Amino acid sequence: MRTADSVDGADQAAAADAPLHEPVPHLTPQQRMALGRQARRDTPRSSHAEYAPAAGRPDPIDLLEHQARMRVSELVPIRYGRMADSPFAFFRGAALVMACDLAATPRTGLTVQVCGDAHLSNFGLYASPERRLMFDINDFDETLPGPWEWDVKRLATSVLIAARDGGLSDRNQERAVLACAAEYRRRMAQFAAMPNLDVWYTRFEVEELVHALAAQVGRRMRKRLEKHVARATARDNTQAYLKLTREIGGRRRIASQPPLIVPAREFLLPSPLAALESRVGHFFDLYAGTLPHDRRMLLEQFHVVDIARKVVGVGSVGTHAWVVLLLGRDGHDPLVMQVKEAQASVLERLLGPSEYANAGERVVAGQRMMQAVSDIFLGWLHVDVGIDGAPRDYYVRQLRDWKGSISVDGMTPRALNAYGALCAACLARAHARSGDRIAISAYLGGGESFDRAVLGFSHAYADQNSRDHRALVDAIASGRIRADEAP
């Protein structure tokens, strides 16, 4: 008879010998190219130009209202107000609407880790752990394994909508979209020819980009870019600390700026503040368990001082998002963190559930896969009874660590071409890390067939987006939904 110890030992040995996941087939480059060419025969590149509303297409306002049921009700009107501002603003908040439409379009069958919400405003600046300013995708709320072409179509369509909103001519609109699609194709061909580690180590550092883009965008736009860079490097924990806090009762606290920032002490009364801080401290202990040991040791040198609810973004407005103030060695050593609710990706209703039970872990895993480097404090947690009393998944990161975005408003044609192409290069690099870059490149080929198809799709979907935006404006005017002016 085996003893309990021998059973455990046998189980451990068996577990050690078992594969962590299904073996990955290692095909030759020629075999992978053949996969891409077969996908081209099965799904011609020209077919990607197709878009028409599917029979029984869901009402976009119904979809937005469905999302609203899972959000903070008093904040939902802010979301609608922000989305109603322009077709581009609507597009930013309508990832679910477009995902439902993309589900009816042709697919190549080649899967990557997708962003799920790849548009121009979801790329930006942030600091690497080595204190270098990076440019990359910066929003992963919807990330999931899925069709690479969905990301490309969403990005290209955002370029066209931004060009329309900016009053660019029809010719310049098309040039911007073609530049975006062509750059994705060219970059994927480059990555297909590179060794695996070289692809993984590829990153886009802003200092090099500024010099590379200077000749393309002209003097005025270069100065604007340099201003964005300077502003981003000033947005750190100290800046956030000084901007978001003030002295209250002899202690530094997060200042109330309703409805955008509301300290928890103002709407969770009569809960004692000390009990609230202890509760948040416990949540941070849970989150710290998802960090590497060295980052956990660093986090343990800080203590929680205050917490507030914060409105973020456009599409995320109404989700539970918190800003947490921590202090380190003294009152001049701040760390300001964002704790953001993670819900199911909008793609899951179309592609199936995530392999991660915790939606926060799904976001973090996708971000680490797609970004060249990520925030040192990026992690996740689940709370059975959250600050608001409900169970929720969250992901955690620094609120401001040289973070910045580049506004597309008022971009010249040359600047939009260059910026859209840069975003496409980042997207191609992200896809190349997780998908079969050789097969995708073989599918794309060396000509403009796919680029032209994406242009056709972008025109058709930008028109659809304008109709959906008008539907939102009409729903607000009729009183079907309430919107607050976008603060």
pLDDT tens-digit profile of 375-419? Answer: 999 999 998 876 667 889 999 999 998 888 888 998 899 999 999
- In a shared domain, residues 88 and 135: yes
Distance CA 391, CA 394 (A): 10
9 in a structural domain: no
Segments forming the whole domain that contains residue 374: 237-398
What are the distances in angstroms from CA 215 to CA 179, 367, 413, 414? 16, 32, 14, 10
Question: Residues of the chain with pLDDT > 90: what percent?
Answer: 74
Pairing of the two strands 404-405 and 245-248 = unpaired
- In a shared domain, residues 226 and 309: no
113 in a structural domain: yes
pLDDT digits (tens, 9 = 90+) for 425-455: 999 999 999 999 999 999 999 999 999 999 9
For the segment 66-92, the average pLDDT, to the nearest whole number, is 95
179 in a structural domain: yes
Residue 279 pLDDT: 74
- In a shared domain, residues 463 and 349: no
129 in a structural domain: yes
Distance CA 417, CA 163 (A): 10
Distance CA 72, CA 262 (A): 13
441 in a structural domain: yes
Boundary-marking domain end, from 340, 363, 398: 398
Q: What is the pTM of this model?
A: 0.92
Residue 5 pLDDT: 44
For the segment 200-206, the average pLDDT, to the nearest whole number, is 94
For residue 15, pLDDT beyond 50: no
Site of tokens 């008879």? 1
Asked if residues 64 and 472 have their Cβ atoms less than 8 Å apart, the reply is yes
pLDDT digits (tens, 9 = 90+) for 453-477: 999 999 999 999 999 999 999 999 9
Sort 211 into a burial class: Cβ within 10 Å, 0-12 / 13-18 / 19+.
exposed
Cα–Cα nearest to 453, from 108, 36, 83, 91: 108
Distance CA 103, CA 147 (A): 10
Band (pLDDT 50/70/90 cuts) for residue 2 is very low
332 in a structural domain: yes
Boundary-marking domain end, from 398, 426, 445: 398
Cα–Cα nearest to 163, from 416, 406, 414: 416
Number of independent structural domains in the chain: 2
Q: Residue 68, SS3?
A: helix
List of E strands, 342-426: 379-383, 392-398, 404-405
Band (pLDDT 50/70/90 cuts) for residue 269 is low
